[in-house]
Structure 1
Amino acid sequence: MPKIVTADGGIREDHWVVVPHPAEGESLALPTQPALIPVRLWLAGREHYAGREDIGVWFDSHEEPEMLADRVNELPLIAVNFPKFSDGRGYSIARLLRERFGYRNELRAIGDVLLDQLQFMKRCGFDTYALRPDKDFSKAARCLNFFSLAYQAATDTDLPLFRRRLA
């Protein structure tokens, strides 16, 4: 079973399966275990998935979190896809979900997730990280806390460093 990294540096088994977009003309095929489905398909069949704790959604980097708006907390897990490590739109999606839309449940980074990105993802509000398969999970805890202080405010602290020092 695949593994994921948690924000505290732990490693646990990942019971969620990312379901890709179905090919044109095909319908969505759900696995028997908990599934992350494309956000647009969840919205299209929302009444069918209502109340299911085994269905979450995933955003592609070009999709806007506004499409969920007041529905975000109906989902037990939201994942954000990083199609390549240099695509930073997922960071903005995470901050919007946490800060503007008040998402309180698990937020996961999927796709091309590298060790040196983990602390920045954590500061944007991600709880779990599905590392790229070729990365060493044992190094994740160190990478999540590589810097002892951050200057900017983010989802993990409301005040920038100079304001925290004045307090």
Structure 2
Amino acid sequence: MTITVTPLNSADRDEWQRLYHGYAEYYQMPMTDDILETVWQWIFDPAQPFFALIATDESGQGIGLMHFREMVSPLRGAKVGFLDDLFVLPALRGSGVVEQLYEGLRAQAKQQGWPFMRWMTAETNYRGRAVYDRIAEKTAWLTYQMKVDQL
């Protein structure tokens, strides 16, 4: 299989939407037309440092996606990259799509001048973590989330 990874463009809307629905379904999160439209607008808004990559096969079908953004790192006095979303069609996991997406991400990070990319994953994402352990360094940081309306 030939895998091509490129920045998302406006012609990719249907493939992106299909993949993003799959991502939301995997995490059992609701996906609405409003959410889809908001995220799509972020990707193409020059004022938003938010980006997307899409992996396609030789027929042009979308087989994977990544959403990532710029994030400030105050202790470094620098901007870094943060990967928000990664999804590969379940039938193609283990086929090299993830590695190709990460190579595309590395190239985009270099282009943006970010010294590194950071991301989180579920502790139980053993298959994904096996890849991440090969291509990245696990940090010592834990993640917390506070609901602002429950203080």
- Looking at CA atoms only, which structure, 1 or 2, has the larger radius of gyration? 1
TM-score, normalised on structure 2? 0.35
* Higher strand proportion: 2
